[in-house]
A and B are shown apart, each in its own frame.
Chain A
Amino acid sequence: AQSVTQLGSHVSVSEGALVLLRCNYSSSVPPYLFWYVQYPNQGLQLLLKYTTGATLVKGINGFEAEFKKSETSFHLTKPSAHMSDAAEYFCAVSDSGAGSYQLTFGKGTKLSVIP
C-alpha cells in the first residue's frame, strides 16, 4: 500500500521568498509522483510529475521538484513566491507496477503568501 505524508498543513512565506513544500511517500515499487495545486473553489491542476528519467522535474509557474529515492521524498520548491501562488498543494503517488494508476493523495498544504 502506498501513502503520502505532507509535512505542514499550512505554510506561510513572504512574497519573493523561497517556497518549500515537503512530501514524503511510501511505496513498495518505483512510484509515480505528482504535485497538484487547487485554487479556491476550483478543481486540481497538475503542476508537475515524476515518472522515470531525470529526478529533477520542472513544472508550470516556476515550480520544480526533485525525486530522492534514498529519502523517499518529492519536495516542491519555487525560488521566489508570488501572491498568485497562494493555494492548496497536494502531493500524490501512484504505483507504477500495479497497472491500476490509482492516485493516493497527501492531506495537502495550504500556502499563504504575505505581501
Chain B
Amino acid sequence: SAVISQKPSRDICQRGTSLTIQCQVDSQVTMMFWYRQQPGQSLTLIATANQGSEATYESGFVIDKFPISRPNLTFSTLTVSNMSPEDSSIYLCSASWGAKETQYFGPGTRLLVL
C-alpha cells in the first residue's frame, strides 16, 4: 500500500490561532478523508476532501471552522481555525484507491490547544 504522511506530527497552539495540517500520499488516490479523534474517543469523520471542488462536510462540521483543500490527487490540507481547547484532538487523514471501500490512514497530527 502507499505511504501516507502528515505534517506536523504534533503541535501545541494558543487559542484563537489557526493550524494547517498537511496530508501527502505517495501515489494518486481516489478519495481522501479527514477524521477527528478526541481524547479517549473513537474517530469521527469531518469531511470528504474532493479533488478540485469543495469538501463534503459531515453534520456538526462547517467549512468556516475546518476549511479543507485538495488541489490534486495526492495532497490535502485541513485547517483548524480560531482554535479553542475543545479542538485538542488527533486529526487523521485517510485515503483510498482502487478498492474505494478500503481506507488507509496517516499517522495523525496530535493537537493541543492551550
Contact = CB atoms under 8 A, between A and B. Distances in A.
B62 interface: no
B92 A44 contact: yes
Given A102-B45, A108-B42, A34 B108 contact: no
A58 B102 CA distance: 15
Contacts of B42: 90, 105-108
Determine chain B's interface SS by DSSP, over half rule: strand
Determine chain A's interface SS by DSSP, over half rule: loop
B105 A49 contact: no
Contacts of A43: 4, 92, 105-108
B48 interface: yes
Interface residues of A, number: 22
A101 B96 contact: yes
Question: How extensive is the interface on chain B, given as a class?
Answer: 20 to 34
A46 B45 contact: no
A45 B41 contact: no
Contacts of A90: 42-43
Contacts of A102: 33, 45, 48, 58
